Amino acid sequence: MAKDKDRKNDKRDAKVDKLSAKANLALAKAQKRKWLFLLICAAIAAYVVISKGGINLGGILDKIKGLSP
């Protein structure tokens, strides 16, 4: 009888560990995607500002525009 209880406890513990690992992986992926999203938004905003010429910081943006073909 003791072996059955040990086996059940081991199986339950394994399931709990597996669920915990999946939750940690999902959290890590979500954090990575959050930063990727923010980086892409910043790049799009920078592109729009540079292409529209919305901000002119002493001709710096004109020099940056001149670098692109």
Q: What is the DSSP letter of 58?
A: T
**For position 8, what pLDDT does the model report?**
87
Portion of the chain with pLDDT greater than 70, in percent: 72
- Do the Cβ atoms of 61 and 53 come closer than 8 Å? yes
**For position 33, what pLDDT does the model report?**
93
- Which tokens is 44 given? 């799009």
Q: Which residues of the chain fall short of a pLDDT of 50?
A: none
